[in-house]
Protein backbone atom coordinates (compact mmCIF):
# COMPACT_ATOMS: atom_id res chain seq x y z
CA UNK A 1 0.00 0.00 0.00
CA UNK A 2 1.40 3.41 -0.97
CA UNK A 3 2.05 6.16 1.57
CA UNK A 4 -0.88 8.17 0.19
CA UNK A 5 -3.30 5.25 0.42
CA UNK A 6 -2.02 4.36 3.91
CA UNK A 7 -2.59 7.93 5.06
CA UNK A 8 -6.14 7.84 3.72
CA UNK A 9 -6.60 4.46 5.44
CA UNK A 10 -5.65 5.82 8.87
CA UNK A 11 -7.42 9.15 8.35
CA UNK A 12 -10.63 7.24 7.70
CA UNK A 13 -10.32 5.59 11.12
CA UNK A 14 -9.88 8.96 12.76
CA UNK A 15 -12.89 10.55 11.06
CA UNK A 16 -15.10 7.70 12.32
CA UNK A 17 -14.13 8.33 15.95
CA UNK A 18 -16.67 10.51 17.74
CA UNK A 19 -15.89 12.31 21.00
CA UNK A 20 -18.26 13.99 23.41
CA UNK A 21 -17.21 16.58 25.95
CA UNK A 22 -18.87 16.27 29.37
CA UNK A 23 -17.63 18.95 31.72
CA UNK A 24 -13.91 18.29 32.19
CA UNK A 25 -14.15 14.78 30.75
CA UNK A 26 -14.18 13.59 27.16
CA UNK A 27 -15.98 10.35 26.31
CA UNK A 28 -15.88 8.10 23.27
CA UNK A 29 -19.20 7.84 21.45
CA UNK A 30 -18.14 5.86 18.38
CA UNK A 31 -15.07 3.77 17.50
CA UNK A 32 -14.56 1.85 14.24
CA UNK A 33 -14.45 -1.94 14.54
CA UNK A 34 -10.83 -2.07 13.39
CA UNK A 35 -9.68 -0.29 16.55
CA UNK A 36 -9.42 -1.53 20.13
CA UNK A 37 -9.20 1.03 22.92
CA UNK A 38 -6.09 0.41 25.03
CA UNK A 39 -5.59 3.70 26.87
CA UNK A 40 -6.73 7.20 27.66
CA UNK A 41 -4.67 10.19 28.74
CA UNK A 42 -5.21 13.84 29.54
CA UNK A 43 -5.38 14.77 25.85
CA UNK A 44 -5.80 11.62 23.75
CA UNK A 45 -7.16 8.11 23.37
CA UNK A 46 -4.89 5.28 22.21
CA UNK A 47 -6.12 2.35 20.13
CA UNK A 48 -4.54 -0.86 18.94
CA UNK A 49 -5.07 -1.33 15.22
CA UNK A 50 -6.41 -4.86 14.90
CA UNK A 51 -4.40 -7.19 12.66
CA UNK A 52 -1.45 -4.80 12.76
CA UNK A 53 1.46 -4.42 15.16
CA UNK A 54 0.69 -0.74 15.42
CA UNK A 55 -1.24 1.67 17.58
CA UNK A 56 -2.90 4.97 16.75
CA UNK A 57 -3.05 7.85 19.22
CA UNK A 58 -5.89 10.27 18.54
CA UNK A 59 -5.98 13.66 20.26
CA UNK A 60 -9.39 15.07 21.10
CA UNK A 61 -10.42 18.76 21.15
CA UNK A 62 -8.87 21.11 22.14
CA UNK A 63 -5.59 19.18 22.14
CA UNK A 64 -5.28 18.20 18.46
CA UNK A 65 -2.18 20.39 17.97
CA UNK A 66 -0.18 18.20 20.37
CA UNK A 67 -0.07 15.45 17.73
CA UNK A 68 2.49 17.34 15.66
CA UNK A 69 4.56 18.27 18.73
CA UNK A 70 4.78 14.65 19.79
CA UNK A 71 5.44 13.37 16.26
CA UNK A 72 8.32 15.87 15.98
CA UNK A 73 9.84 14.61 19.23
CA UNK A 74 9.52 10.97 18.17
CA UNK A 75 11.27 11.84 14.92
CA UNK A 76 14.24 13.17 16.92
CA UNK A 77 14.59 9.92 18.92
CA UNK A 78 14.07 7.71 15.88
CA UNK A 79 16.30 4.64 16.09
CA UNK A 80 16.69 4.76 19.88
CA UNK A 81 15.30 1.40 21.08
CA UNK A 82 13.61 2.84 24.17
CA UNK A 83 11.07 4.74 22.06
CA UNK A 84 8.40 3.48 19.65
CA UNK A 85 8.79 4.13 15.94
CA UNK A 86 6.29 6.56 14.39
CA UNK A 87 5.12 5.61 10.90
CA UNK A 88 2.73 8.42 10.13
CA UNK A 89 1.03 11.41 11.68
CA UNK A 90 -1.86 13.69 10.83
CA UNK A 91 -3.26 16.90 12.24
CA UNK A 92 -4.63 15.09 15.30
CA UNK A 93 -3.18 11.56 15.29
CA UNK A 94 0.04 9.52 15.38
CA UNK A 95 0.54 5.95 14.11
CA UNK A 96 3.30 4.13 15.99
CA UNK A 97 4.53 0.75 17.20
CA UNK A 98 2.15 -1.13 19.46
CA UNK A 99 4.18 -2.08 22.52
CA UNK A 100 2.70 -4.79 24.70
CA UNK A 101 3.67 -4.32 28.30
CA UNK A 102 2.79 -2.98 31.73
CA UNK A 103 3.26 0.58 32.88
CA UNK A 104 5.30 1.17 36.03
CA UNK A 105 1.99 2.14 37.63
CA UNK A 106 0.41 -1.20 36.69
CA UNK A 107 3.48 -3.04 37.99
CA UNK A 108 3.09 -1.39 41.40
CA UNK A 109 -0.65 -2.10 41.51
CA UNK A 110 -0.25 -5.75 40.44
CA UNK A 111 2.84 -6.46 42.52
CA UNK A 112 5.19 -6.98 39.57
CA UNK A 113 8.76 -6.29 40.59
CA UNK A 114 10.53 -3.20 39.29
CA UNK A 115 14.29 -3.72 39.24
CA UNK A 116 17.30 -1.44 39.33
CA UNK A 117 17.90 -2.42 35.72
CA UNK A 118 14.51 -0.96 34.79
CA UNK A 119 15.50 2.29 36.49
CA UNK A 120 18.84 2.31 34.66
CA UNK A 121 17.10 1.79 31.32
CA UNK A 122 14.93 4.85 31.96
CA UNK A 123 18.07 6.86 32.76
CA UNK A 124 19.69 5.72 29.52
CA UNK A 125 16.55 6.59 27.53
CA UNK A 126 16.43 10.11 28.98
CA UNK A 127 20.14 10.73 28.36
CA UNK A 128 19.70 9.55 24.76
CA UNK A 129 16.81 12.00 24.30
CA UNK A 130 18.88 14.85 25.76
CA UNK A 131 21.66 14.03 23.32
CA UNK A 132 19.15 14.57 20.51
CA UNK A 133 18.39 18.07 21.75
CA UNK A 134 15.26 17.28 23.76
CA UNK A 135 14.46 18.20 27.35
CA UNK A 136 12.73 15.16 28.91
CA UNK A 137 9.79 16.41 30.97
CA UNK A 138 6.61 14.92 32.39
CA UNK A 139 8.15 11.48 32.98
CA UNK A 140 5.80 9.57 35.26
CA UNK A 141 4.62 6.07 36.17
CA UNK A 142 2.05 5.97 33.36
CA UNK A 143 4.40 6.61 30.44
CA UNK A 144 7.05 4.05 31.35
CA UNK A 145 6.38 0.57 29.96
CA UNK A 146 8.02 -2.76 30.80
CA UNK A 147 7.68 -5.60 28.28
CA UNK A 148 7.70 -9.33 28.99
CA UNK A 149 11.42 -9.47 28.20
CA UNK A 150 12.08 -6.69 30.74
CA UNK A 151 12.77 -3.97 28.19
CA UNK A 152 11.68 -0.46 29.11
CA UNK A 153 9.97 1.86 26.63
CA UNK A 154 8.96 5.50 27.03
CA UNK A 155 5.76 6.81 25.49
CA UNK A 156 3.89 10.14 25.57
CA UNK A 157 6.85 12.41 24.94
CA UNK A 158 5.01 15.50 23.70
CA UNK A 159 6.47 17.64 26.49
CA UNK A 160 10.07 16.66 25.79
CA UNK A 161 10.51 20.06 24.13
CA UNK A 162 9.46 22.03 27.23
CA UNK A 163 11.95 24.65 28.37
CA UNK A 164 11.37 24.15 32.07
CA UNK A 165 12.89 21.17 33.81
CA UNK A 166 10.46 18.94 35.66
CA UNK A 167 11.70 16.68 38.41
CA UNK A 168 9.17 13.82 38.47
CA UNK A 169 11.69 11.20 37.39
CA UNK A 170 14.35 12.43 39.82
CA UNK A 171 11.79 12.23 42.63
CA UNK A 172 10.50 8.82 41.54
CA UNK A 173 14.04 7.49 41.36
CA UNK A 174 14.82 8.85 44.82
CA UNK A 175 11.66 7.22 46.15
CA UNK A 176 12.62 3.91 44.53
CA UNK A 177 16.05 3.73 46.16
CA UNK A 178 14.84 5.13 49.49
CA UNK A 179 11.60 3.20 50.04
CA UNK A 180 10.87 0.53 47.42
CA UNK A 181 13.02 -2.24 48.96
CA UNK A 182 12.08 -1.47 52.55
CA UNK A 183 10.03 -3.92 54.63
CA UNK A 184 7.18 -1.44 54.95
CA UNK A 185 6.68 -0.93 51.22
CA UNK A 186 3.56 -2.90 50.16
CA UNK A 187 3.93 -5.72 47.65
CA UNK A 188 0.88 -4.31 45.86
CA UNK A 189 0.10 -0.61 45.98
CA UNK A 190 -3.65 0.14 45.88
CA UNK A 191 -4.67 2.45 43.06
CA UNK A 192 -6.46 4.78 45.47
CA UNK A 193 -3.26 5.18 47.49
CA UNK A 194 -1.26 6.01 44.37
CA UNK A 195 -3.85 8.65 43.44
CA UNK A 196 -3.64 10.21 46.91
CA UNK A 197 0.18 10.30 46.79
CA UNK A 198 0.06 11.84 43.30
CA UNK A 199 -2.32 14.59 44.44
CA UNK A 200 -0.17 15.41 47.46
CA UNK A 201 2.97 15.43 45.30
CA UNK A 202 1.49 17.79 42.71
CA UNK A 203 0.12 20.12 45.39
CA UNK A 204 3.60 20.37 46.93
CA UNK A 205 5.30 20.95 43.56
CA UNK A 206 2.96 23.75 42.43
Contacts of 30 (CB under 8 A, 6+ apart): 16, 17, 18
> What is the total residue count of the chain?
206
Q: Among residues 77, 69, 78, which one has the least CA distance to residue 129?
A: 77
Distance CA 201, CA 205 (A): 6
Give the pairing of strands 144-146 and 152-154. antiparallel
Q: Which of 27, 51, 97, 138 is catalytic?
A: 138
Contacts of 82 (CB under 8 A, 6+ apart): 121, 124, 125, 128, 152, 153, 154
Q: Could you give the maximum distance between any two Cα atoms of the chain, in Å?
A: 57
Active site residue 138: yes
- Annotated active-site positions, please? 138
Amino acid sequence: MSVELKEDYYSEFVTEIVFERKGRNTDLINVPNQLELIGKGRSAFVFKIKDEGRAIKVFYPPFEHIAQDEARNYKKVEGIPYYPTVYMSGKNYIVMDYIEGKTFSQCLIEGLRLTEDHVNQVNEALVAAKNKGLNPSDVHLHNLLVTKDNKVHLIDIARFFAEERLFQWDDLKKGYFTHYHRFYFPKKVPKWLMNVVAKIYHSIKK
